[in-house]
DNA sequence: GGTTATAATGAGAATCATTATCACTACGAT
DNA sequence: ATCGTAGTGATAATGATTCTCATTATAACC
């Protein structure tokens, strides 16, 4: 049981839901990934041990509890990743050729610049910002 | 015929496709919108004058020609907007409550800061960046 | 330890956005 | 005017996701 798992367990119990075997497997698979995963990818990765309908339900439960967050970058699919309060704040490199999404963590200095920038945007737009995400589009090393 | 329309026409003819009535209507609707639009929204907005299957095909053609670009921010749907070379570079405010997406153009100073930032990200990641998009998540004025 | 109320699961049906198909129409070149 | 190709519209097919419901597992209580 990884360190984060304790936090996940607590968060779920606060939401009044159980941290069952299937849910643990999904969370573990997401922890092991190096980018957001779709329900189908998770189902695959778990070798069918968790049926696809359960993967969807589990993701919905985890999202509701704030353990994972959805990410929409590819055509018709939703990918999920461990929420930032557990995994740390980061951004995404999106390959415009193959669609792969890679996490990237900014050095503190860049991140604070970005936060200041978002703050200014929020002010100038009468929009109460609660989060932000920088998406850099380009070619991944494999497609370059 | 707006000024941009000339550019669209030229771009399409370079792609060897015609700029037909239905396509003009879709482009006009996108020009009139103040954020990305889905196929269903466009179909609605055009009061059924353009059948839904044609809206989809038109969007595919326009994307192929580089006249519009897709945007994935909401659950299972793809929204499109006029490409940046026609409409100008901008970013998005995404309402975490109602899902609405609003365009926002950054003042030159902020935009250049952001570009420098993206440049550094690109370097530190061996990822050849071709574009970027800042998404600010929060509550729109209606949902606040 | 067994019982019971409730949460969770799994298989499949139902739904929604999107894509493919195909007969038909419109346009441009000859 | 006509012929070939591009475009259209209705509808069927697909793929991701959600819903339903009967069954199973779990935690709290006796």
d(CA B11, CA B27) in angstroms, rounded, equals 13
Burial class from Cβ neighbours inside 10 Å (0-12, 13-18, 19+) for residue B36 reads buried
Chain B: give the shortest CA distance to residue A1, in Å: 31
> Inter-chain contact A136–B113, Cβ cutoff 8 Å?
no
* Percentage, residues of chain B above pLDDT 70: 96
Q: Is A113 on the interface with B (CB under 8 A)?
A: yes
Mean pLDDT for all residues in chain B:
89
**pLDDT reported for residue B86:** 92
> A125, B93: Cβ pair inside 8 Å?
yes
* pLDDT at B79 exceeding the cut of 60: yes
Residue-level pLDDT at B1: 53
The pLDDT tens digits for B43-77 are 999 988 999 999 999 999 999 999 999 988 788 89
The mean pLDDT value for B71-99 works out to: 86
DSSP string, chain B: --HHHHHHHHHHHHTT----HHHHHHHHHHHH-SS-EEHHHHHHHTTTSS-HHHHHHHHHHHHHTTSEEEE--SSS--EEEE-HHHH---EEEEETTT--EEEE---HHHHHHHHHHHHHHHHHHT-EEEEEEEEEEEE-TTT-
Residue-level pLDDT, tens digit, chain A, 144 residues: 566 789 999 999 999 999 999 999 999 999 999 889 999 999 999 988 999 999 999 999 999 999 999 988 778 899 999 999 998 898 888 887 767 788 888 889 889 989 999 998 888 888 888 889 898 988 888 776
* Residues A67, A82: Cα–Cα separation, whole Å: 6
Within A21-107, residue ranges assigned H as helices are 21-32, 39-45, 52-64, 84-87
What is the percent of chain B with per-residue pLDDT over 90, rounded to a whole number? 55
Q: Is B91 on the interface with A (CB under 8 A)?
A: yes
CA pair distance A112, A115, nearest whole angstrom: 5
Do B139 and A130 lie within an 8 Å CB cutoff?
yes
Q: CA-nearest residue of chain A to B136?
A: A132
Q: Which residue has the higher pLDDT, B119 or B140?
A: B119
**Has residue B2 got a pLDDT over 70?**
no
> B124 in contact with A at a CB cutoff of 8 Å?
yes
Packing angle between helix B3-14 and helix B21-32, nearest 10 degrees? 130
Q: Kindly list the distances between the CA atom of residue B10 and the CA atoms of B17, B26, B32, B130, in Å, as whole numbers in the listed order.
A: 10, 17, 20, 24
| pLDDT level of residue B3 (50, 70, 90 thresholds) | low
Higher pLDDT pick, A74 / B86: B86
Is the pLDDT score of B29 beyond 90? yes
Q: Using the CA of B77, which nucleotide's C1' is the nearest one?
A: C17
Lowest-pLDDT choice from A38-47, B17-26, B101-110, B135-144: B135-144
Chain-chain contact of A136 with B118 (C-beta, under 8 angstroms) = yes
């Amino acid at each position: 049981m990884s360190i984060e798992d304790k936090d996940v367990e607590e968060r779920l119990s606060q939401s009044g839901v159980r941290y069952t075997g299937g849910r643990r497997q999904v969370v573990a698979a997401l922890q092991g990934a190096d980018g957001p995963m779709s329900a189908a990818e998770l189902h695959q990765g778990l070798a069918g041990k968790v049926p696809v309908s359960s993967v969807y339900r589990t993701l919905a439960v985890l999202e509701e509890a704030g353990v994972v967050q959805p990410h929409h970058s590819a055509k018709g699919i939703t990918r999920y990743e461990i929420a930032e309060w557990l995994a740390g704040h980061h951004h995404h490199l999106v390959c415009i050729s193959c669609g792969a999404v890679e996490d990237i963590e900014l050095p503190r200095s860049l991140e604070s610049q970005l936060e200041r920038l978002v703050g200014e945007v929020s002010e100038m737009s009468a929009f109460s910002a609660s989060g932000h995400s920088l998406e850099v589009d380009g070619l991944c090393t494999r497609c370059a």
